Structure formats: C-alpha cells, structure tokens
Structure 1
C-alpha cells in the first residue's frame, strides 16, 4: 500500500512517501479502514520533529481518517460491519489502509460525509471538549482564542458563537482576522511583540475585567499575554505548541487572580466507554443544526506530504488540511 513514514526525526526531509508498504495485519479488536480522506494536524509535526517521541521506527504519521471498513479483526463489535462508512482517531493514518482499535472508530450517520468527518473529528472534538470540559463556557462569557484562523481556532469561534459566548480572536494577518470574524468572532486583534500592549487591548474590549478563559494553541510566544488577559478566577487553557513548548511555570504566578492553568488532551476526555460516541454525536448535531463549516483549506495527494507540512508550518493555511491516498 501507499503511505508516509519516518525513519528518524527532523525537518520535512525525513518524510518518506512509499508505495510498497505491507498492508497491516489486524490484531484482536481491530478493524482495517480503507482511507478516503486523512486529516492533517499540527501534532503530526511534533512527532516528525521529535518534540513528541515516536514509539518506533519506521513510523507512519497521522492521527485521523475516514473511509470504509475493509476488514474485521477477531472479536470486533457487532455494531461495525464491512463496507460501512466510519471515521476514526488513531495513529498510522498517513496510508491507504489503517488498523484501528474498534473503540476508536465512529460509524457515520447519513448526514455526515467522510470528507467532513475527516476534517472535523480531531479538531472539532478538541474544540468541543475545550468549551465543555476544560472550561465550561457560559452564555455571555468573554473568551480569547489564539490562532483563530487555524483548524481548531475556526471550530472554537463557531462553537463559541453557537453557545452564546463573546469571542476575541487573534490571527497573524488581516485576512486571517477577517476570516475569524466571518466565522463568529466578535472582536479580532493582531499579535503584538509587547505583551503588555496586547493585554491592554483585551482589557479595553472587556471593560477592564479580562476574559473568563483563554484557549491558547500557540504556546510559548503567547503564554505571558494570555495569563495577563485573564479575569479574576479565569482559566488559561494551553493546548498547543505552535510557537514552541511553554517553559516551566512558577505556580505562584496564578495567585494574583486565583487563575487556573490547564494543559488538556482530547484523548483523555474521551477515554471512558461512551464518551467518544457522545461527543461525536454532539459535534455532528452542531454541524447539521448550526451549519458549521470545517473550512477545508486544500485536499492534497498523499505523495505531496512534504509540501503539506511546509504549508502548515509556514502559516500558509487556514482551516483544515486533508490528504487523499
């Protein structure tokens, strides 16, 4: 089968497109998904660069995809059947076929296409669990979203609008800030080299109070400004490292505002039985009822994987990147 793997960590030069990878053999409780669309996420670059350690080499990148079930391993649930349309979250997705534990597979309703599902499942569920679990957003809350024109960012501004929050969105260009506003942000701000200037702008918007929560997928470059933008009893939810990992934090910095600091992980929020199905059903409901747009930037051929990672890391994209084998 076709696929992309790495044999060491590094820059985009370590990405190897192959056409002769052996189709995986299924273990107990797994299904084999023939991928129609494969999602690209920033975490893929973390495994490529070594920020997160791959478990072995060669290692097939990718964490999500959608397609049809091509084979069933021993003792798979009766709810899953051959040729049914599914979406999944699991490693080894940059390939024609991916072996997936059955509990990470979600059958698709007729209202959700594989293309939409592949564009939505990780980033959409990440955004949904952020506003439901990391900080339970209330109607009327002021919320700050960094990198609001990115994949998770656009989901956040749409979901926050749907639940009645007031959103301040940041993005790196005027075009991206306008896109965030189109998708639901009430106010947009540019980044400032001086974090104090940024905090002052946030306080002006919020009547001097600050925001109830910051959803920060940027990391190192925005952390201090995010913390300064919080209201009393506010929550800083740091969920990504696009600018680099946040250095160790002195916990006493939270004292001034009785602030909360979280570093959540989607998979921990959906690890118990029934949680993935429940969250997915709520996401599909938002997509259908609120006409949410996954904003697919481009569908790339899998063989163009070097260009994909270069575009993603070079801030040349808005929304979701997909691959086709």
Structure 2
C-alpha cells in the first residue's frame, strides 16, 4: 500500500510517498482503510522534529475517517465495514492503518468521510477548549487567535452558539470575512492593528474572560493584556514558535490571571472521554450550529505541497488528503 513516510526531520520535502508493508492489526487495534485524512498544523511539528516521535522513519498524521477492514484480538464493538473516524496516534498519512480501538468512534451516517476526517482532531480540540478547559457560557467575551484557521473556525461557531461574544484575530481581509461568517462579532487584523489595544477598545476597557491562543510566540505576552482580572490564558499551539519561559509573577501583575497549556491527548486518555467528547462534537455539527468547511483537498501523494501552503498561512479552514485508493 502507499503511505507518506518521514526518514529525516526537515521541511515539506522530507515527506516521501512510497510503498509500505501492510500489517495485521495487533491486540486492541482496528485496521482502517482511510477514505480521507485530516491535515493539521501539529503534523508539521512532528515532521520538523519539534515534537518527538518513537523512531525514524515514521508515518505522520493524527486524524482520519474510513471503513473498518479487520479487528485485532480483544476488540469489541467494531466490525468490518463499519464507518469510523479517529483522532489518534501517528500513522494517518496512509491508504490503510492500524488504529488503537481506544481512539476510534463510529461515524454517524449523516457525516461523510471528508467531513469526518476534517473534524476529529480540530473539532475535539475545540470541544476540550470550550467545554473542558474554560467552560464558555452565555454573556462571556472570548478572544480566539487565528480565527480563520481549522480550530478557529470551529471554535468561533461553537462559542457563538453558546452565547459568547467572540473576538477573533486574523491575518488578512479575506480571512476576516471568513471569521465574521463563522460567528466572530469583532475581527482584528493583527498585522495592521495592535490587537491588545483593540480588545480593550471593543470591551470598553474590561477585557476578555478567556484567550484561546494556538499561535504562540508572536501573540505572547500581549494576549495577557487582553484579559480581565482572573481571566484565563489558554495556550494550545505554537504556530509562530514556542512561548519563551516567563516569570510567573507576570500573571499576578496583569490581574491575578490563570494560564494553562492543555493537550488533546491528555483529555482523550480515558475511553469514556473519547466517546463523550465525540458525541458532543457530532451533536453540535448535526444540529447545524457548527459547519465543517473543507477549503481544499489534495491527493495523499501531494502532502508536501499541502504542508507548504499550511506553513505559509495561505490556508483557511480544513484541508483533507485523499488516498488514491479512496
């Protein structure tokens, strides 16, 4: 079968489309034929070596949707032919892969494979941010950086559905239009405006209840200046680079703030959370409150080009990779 493998860390050019040996599922695993694979910024962290991998070479990718081919020893609840989706361990950039049953969920009939692949990692990230890390409620004001990105578009729609006032930062006028269409009440062009000053202006000096920041170095520590006293800074990504070490006393100086750096896979460590979080996500999508917009599709063999566009910040919304056999 065909897969993308990384033999050495580096730029998009290290993504090699090649033949790999298909393996039978082990105990607790399910063999899945991918029909669509999600592209995520975290994939670039693994490719460059910013995030550790068990060994080289490896198959990148953490999200996909398809059909069950076979099940390993001890697996119950799944059978060949089942429509499934996952946000799981590395290995998604392949025509087929073995997925730990722990991370696998059945895909509702109303959700197609492309949407399933595009929504799992990004949608479950939005779920834990909005419902588990800082529980957004009606009447609150939130700031979402990279509001036109994959997580941002889902989070903005969901937060608006929950009754929050949503402020989003974006890098271009076209992305601003997209963010507004996805629930942002106010949009800040961060390349042209001082976003912290604009947040203060929008909130009449009060600040936000929470800042969701997947950008990292470029938006810190100014994000702290966007918060009201006792507000929460949630750092969940480092698209512009990691945040440097800082004096924790800064949180006291800026209003007794809270700061956290959660990860999706900590939230997914328990099987009951995988099921409950997925059910919450499927429900809000099925209701129409959150729409998963797929803005680009690439053949799996063109993963390197998809990475180039992703890292140039030329993408909006979700991108999926489609195996040739799909």
TM-score for the superposition, normalised by structure 2: 0.96
Deviates more, 1:145-154 or 1:21-30: 21-30
Question: Hey, what does 1:307 align to over in structure 2?
Answer: 305
Structure 2 counterparts to residues 239-318 of structure 1, below 5 A: 239-256=236-253, 257-318=255-316
Mapped contact 1:28–1:75 kept (Cα < 8 A)? yes
Could you tell me which runs of 5 or more consecutive residues in structure 2 were left unpaired when the two chains were aligned: none
**C-alpha deviation, 1:291, in angstroms:** 4.3
Mapped contact 1:254–1:260 kept (Cα < 8 A)? yes
Question: Hey, what does 2:143 align to over in structure 1?
Answer: 144
Deviations 1:148-171 (A, max 9, x none): 000000011000011000011010
Question: Hey, what does 1:160 align to over in structure 2?
Answer: 159
Post-superposition, which runs of at least 4 consecutive aligned residues in structure 1 deviate over 3 A? none
**C-alpha deviation, 1:270, in angstroms:** 2.1
**C-alpha deviation, 1:121, in angstroms:** 0.6
Work out whether 1:44 is the aligned partner of 2:40: no
**C-alpha deviation, 1:198, in angstroms:** 2.4
Query: Are the structure 2 counterparts of residues 170 and 46 from structure 1 closer, same or farther at C-alpha, using a change threshold of 3 Å?
Result: same
Mapped contact 2:216–2:238 kept (Cα < 8 A)? yes
Aligned alpha-carbon RMSD (Å): 1.1
Question: Hey, what does 1:189 align to over in structure 2?
Answer: 188
Task: Tell me how far apart the structure 2 counterparts of residues 133 and 202 of structure 1 sit (CA, whole Å).
Answer: 24
Task: Tell me how far apart the structure 2 counterparts of residues 182 and 192 of structure 1 sit (CA, whole Å).
Answer: 20
Task: Tell me how far apart the structure 2 counterparts of residues 199 and 102 of structure 1 sit (CA, whole Å).
Answer: 44
Q: SS at 2:221's partner residue?
A: helix
Task: Tell me how far apart the structure 2 counterparts of residues 264 and 24 of structure 1 sit (CA, whole Å).
Answer: 33
Could you tell me which runs of 5 or more consecutive residues in structure 1 were left unpaired when the two chains were aligned: none
Q: SS at 2:217's partner residue?
A: coil
Question: Hey, what does 2:171 align to over in structure 1?
Answer: 172
Question: Hey, what does 2:200 align to over in structure 1?
Answer: 203
Work out whether 1:321 is the aligned partner of 2:324: no
Question: Hey, what does 1:2 align to over in structure 2?
Answer: 2
Deviations 1:219-250 (A, max 9, x none): 00001111111111000001011000010121
Mapped contact 2:171–2:191 kept (Cα < 8 A)? no
Task: Tell me how far apart the structure 2 counterparts of residues 266 and 248 of structure 1 sit (CA, whole Å).
Answer: 22
Task: Tell me how far apart the structure 1 counterparts of residues 202 and 78 of structure 2 sit (CA, whole Å).
Answer: 50
**C-alpha deviation, 1:29, in angstroms:** 0.8
**C-alpha deviation, 1:292, in angstroms:** 2.1
Work out whether 1:223 is the aligned partner of 2:220: yes
Task: Tell me how far apart the structure 2 counterparts of residues 258 and 270 of structure 1 sit (CA, whole Å).
Answer: 30
Deviations 1:271-293 (A, max 9, x none): 11311111111111101113422
TM-score for the superposition, normalised by structure 1: 0.97
Question: Hey, what does 2:71 align to over in structure 1?
Answer: 72
Question: Hey, what does 2:93 align to over in structure 1?
Answer: 94
Q: SS at 1:60's partner residue?
A: coil
**C-alpha deviation, 1:193, in angstroms:** 7.5
**C-alpha deviation, 1:25, in angstroms:** 2.7
Deviations 1:77-104 (A, max 9, x none): 1x11111100012210000111011111
Q: SS at 1:274's partner residue?
A: helix
